[in-house]
Amino acid sequence: MKFSELVDKLTKGQPLMFIRNILLILLGTFVLAMGTEMFIIPAGLDTGGVSGIAICFKYAGVDFSSEIIIGIIGWILFFIGLIFLGWRFSAQTLLSTITYPIFLLLINWLCTKWNFLLISESASLKDNPALISLLSALFGGVLVGAGCAITFIGGGSTGGVDIITFVICKFLKNVKSSASIFIIDAIIVVAGFFINKEHDIALALEGVFSAFIAALVVDRIFVGQSQSFVAYVITNKYAEITEDIIKKLDRTTSILDIEGGYTKEKKKMVIISFTVRQYQEVMSIVTRHDRKAFTMVHRTQEINGEGFKEID
């Protein structure tokens, strides 16, 4: 998708839906910033991702605020995505890339002005740093997960190190996105443990715990109980969509002949089964080839078979 096409889509498509999605992305990004600025950064929790990289710099004694580091890294990753993944992907991350560091600085200013917003300033917990760290991991994880999920619902993406994951998967066809995400986050967490001069294993485990909580919250809000989706796409671009699904996602499709009930027009329906990690990619493939495709997406209770859960 060219930039001009993106602008045309946003301005001439469905304005109310566009505004709704923008508000959801802004809300999700703000909630994500709350979790990061109020809990993750003050507790020094390395949860992986961009905030984890910022914490590593903090461990190393770099004399820059975490908010500035996160903003710089976010823009570097955005341009990496723009170069290797194109506008189609980068457009999904643009709004969060712009507003995330701004929200971090805003919340940092509010916490400086009203320090009661920070759990570390709670009078009942000042003598219990271990409990402060644990509560920060828990509530930070909840807010980070909720923020990411709300952003996903709005059709956006928080970008971050996921961009590196998609670049790796683009050039290394045999590498799964879930595996590369896990490896990158694990490298960041392990690096933080060794960079931290105190080598605090409890702090490292709390960071992992917070990341786990965030993943659970994303699953419950964005995915619900199921990890799998089925999309029904009515389009004349079925061959192009199928080719991209096979090449880029290592999935396949089913193609059915259908007839319009009113128009009696003959068309094709493409049925695609995919996981939550592939949701944005599937939607991007469909809209790139046919922006007017009639698309229905359903969350499934269960999918068994090759590429999914094995049948017991």
233 and 257 share one domain: yes
26 and 166 share one domain: yes
Tally of structural domains, the chain: 2
Q: How far apart are CA 125 and CA 128, in angstroms?
A: 5
191 and 285 share one domain: no
Better-scored residue on pLDDT, 174 or 70 = 70
Task: Give me the percent of the chain exceeding a pLDDT of 70.
Answer: 86
> Is pLDDT above 50 for 123?
yes
184 and 272 share one domain: no
Better-scored residue on pLDDT, 122 or 110 = 110
pLDDT (mean) for 1-22: 60
pLDDT (mean) for 70-92: 83
Establish if 48 belongs to a structural domain.
Answer: yes
Task: Give Cβ neighbours of residue 85 (< 8 Å, ≥ 6 apart).
Answer: 163, 166, 167, 170
Average pLDDT, the chain: 80
45 and 165 share one domain: yes
Establish if 77 belongs to a structural domain.
Answer: yes
245 and 117 share one domain: no
Task: Mean pLDDT check: name the lowest of 23-27, 31-35, 123-127.
Answer: 123-127
214 and 240 share one domain: no
- Cβ-contact 197, 56 below 8 angstroms: no
Establish if 310 belongs to a structural domain.
Answer: no
Name residue 167's amino acid.
V
pLDDT at 59: 86
Q: Residue 301: which pLDDT band, with cuts at 50, 70 and 90?
A: low
Establish if 311 belongs to a structural domain.
Answer: no
Q: How far apart are CA 98 and CA 33, in angstroms?
A: 12
**Which pTM was predicted?**
0.68
Better-scored residue on pLDDT, 48 or 162 = 48
Block residue for tokens 């507790």:
43
144 and 284 share one domain: no
Q: Which candidate, 176, 187, 143, places its Cα nearest to that of 28?
A: 143
pLDDT at 177: 59
Domain boundary (223, 243, 263) is at 223
Q: How far apart are CA 207 and CA 145, in angstroms?
A: 14
157 and 234 share one domain: no
104 and 135 share one domain: yes
187 and 237 share one domain: no
CA distances 164 to 49, 55, 185, 264, 291, Å, are 10, 19, 11, 46, 27
pLDDT (mean) for 12-17: 60
Domain boundary (223, 239, 260) is at 223
89: left (phi over 0), alpha (psi -120 to 50) or beta: alpha
Better-scored residue on pLDDT, 227 or 127 = 127
- For 209-225, the pLDDT digits (tens) are 888 888 888 877 765 54
Block residue for tokens 């080719």:
243
Domain boundary (223, 240, 258) is at 223
Establish if 126 belongs to a structural domain.
Answer: yes
Establish if 71 belongs to a structural domain.
Answer: yes
62 and 139 share one domain: yes
pLDDT at 107: 92
Q: How far apart are CA 49 and CA 211, in angstroms?
A: 9
pLDDT (mean) for 8-18: 58
Better-scored residue on pLDDT, 163 or 31 = 31
CA angle 222, 226, 227 (to 5 degrees): 80
Task: Give me the percent of the chain exceeding a pLDDT of 90.
Answer: 11
Establish if 309 belongs to a structural domain.
Answer: no
Task: Mean pLDDT check: name the lowest of 12-21, 100-109, 279-288, 303-312.
Answer: 303-312
pLDDT at 305: 56
Give the residue numbers spanning the domain of 209.
3-223
279: domain CATH number is 3.30.70.120
pLDDT at 174: 65
Establish if 312 belongs to a structural domain.
Answer: no
pLDDT (mean) for 162-176: 73
